[in-house]
Amino acid sequence: MHCAHFFVTLQAFLIMILEIILIIVGIAAVLWGADRFTDGGCGLARRLNVSELVIGLTIVAFGTSLPEFMVSFMSLLRGSSDMSVGNIIGSNVFNVFVIIGASAIMRTMKVEKTLLSRDIPICIAISLLLFAFATSSGMIVRWEGLVLVAFFCGYLYMAYRVAMNDRKSVLLPSGGEEKAEVRDSKFNEKSLWYFVMLLLVGMAALVIGGRVLVDNAAAVAREWGVSESVIGMTILAAGTSLPELATSVVAARKGSLGLAFGNVVGSNVFNIAFVIGTCSSVVPMPVTEIVPLDWFMLVGSCILVWIVAFTRRELHRWEGILLVSCYLCYLISLLLK
């Protein structure tokens, strides 16, 4: 009897270990797929003579948020809408507290005036809009999803107009065309079909990795007695935010502080307006396990970093430590819950 109980326990333990390994494999596949998809898209755009501006506003922006989109969409199709919404909330909170915090720890970040006057307030507004939609009826219905998508289209158009105005004011320095040609040589050396294959392979990795990740994360949540929303806001959120973390920290180390900060703000707007907007437009999303603390952290993180950055238009190391500490406290509260 005791021997049978031991083998049952051992089997359950081994299954749980396998599920955790598959979660890691799923995250790796999603991130690898997003990287291949972005490279393929950029190369294809270059080969078709699409401008760098259009590439940055469309393919690259879409590629960096593909992990969140695929995981959230797969979660929704599998009936785990709380995990889907939790993934976006957790990713956005992680982006603000950990990515901006870690970047500020690496190097003092000067914050551009336009971020304070335009982009961060837009990020706060879209977070409040999502909160209003989700809490008014306990779910995000199709028309609310379409409103979020329309918001995203307006934001993308605004970014395009701003970029066009900035581009007109910048003159290409002497020899710039030669440098651009050298920089793009890696795209010119490859055939059109090579980039098409990168797109297809990247998309396949995203779909397969997303399904493996969601299925095993949900299984672990059930076995541990942890709600799917908590799994979405912790494991999935951190895993799908790795591209933004790497981009911003490396950018901060190289002195590209505008990119490091702007990457987070743009990604957060994209996650809510496009990802949740698109998902809820396809299938209405019931939201039952997201508690008031989660909504407070989603909106409050943006407001806090806006206030901290507004004081001197800089983020110093101690402020970065403060942001990371806030996330650790939130993480502990999630795990205790």
CATH code for position 124: 1.20.1420.30
User: Quick one: pLDDT at residue 41?
Assistant: 72
Contact 28, 237 (CB under 8 A): no
User: Quick one: pLDDT at residue 180?
Assistant: 45
DSSP class of residue 319 equals: H
Confidence (pTM): 0.74
In a domain, 11, yes or no: no
User: Quick one: pLDDT at residue 176?
Assistant: 46
Distance of CA 160 to the CA centre of its chain: 20
In a domain, 7, yes or no: no
User: Quick one: pLDDT at residue 324?
Assistant: 93
Please report which helix (H) or strand (E) contains residue 254, including its range.
none
Q: pLDDT 10s per residue in the chain (337 long)?
A: 567 666 777 777 788 888 889 888 888 887 787 777 767 777 776 776 655 445 554 565 666 677 778 778 877 777 777 778 888 898 899 989 998 898 888 888 887 777 788 888 999 999 999 999 998 888 899 999 999 999 999 988 887 777 666 555 544 444 444 444 444 555 566 777 888 888 788 878 877 887 787 778 777 877 777 777 777 787 777 777 776 676 667 667 766 666 667 778 888 888 899 999 998 998 888 887 788 898 999 999 999 999 888 877 888 889 899 999 999 999 888 877 6
In a domain, 9, yes or no: no
User: Quick one: pLDDT at residue 129?
Assistant: 95
DSSP assignment of 203-241 equals HHHHHHHHHHHHHHHHHHHHHHT--HHHHIIIIIHHHHT
Please state, in angstroms and as integers, the Cα–Cα distance from residue 157 to each residue in 25, 66, 160, 332, following that order. Answer: 36, 20, 5, 39
Contact 36, 198 (CB under 8 A): yes
Counted domains in the chain = 1
User: Quick one: pLDDT at residue 179?
Assistant: 44
Total residue length of the chain: 337
In a domain, 149, yes or no: yes
In a domain, 33, yes or no: yes
In a domain, 178, yes or no: no
Q: What whole-number distance in Å separates Cα of residue 84 and Cα of residue 71?
A: 7
Range of the domain at 87: 28-170+184-336
User: Quick one: pLDDT at residue 295?
Assistant: 92
In a domain, 4, yes or no: no
In a domain, 65, yes or no: yes
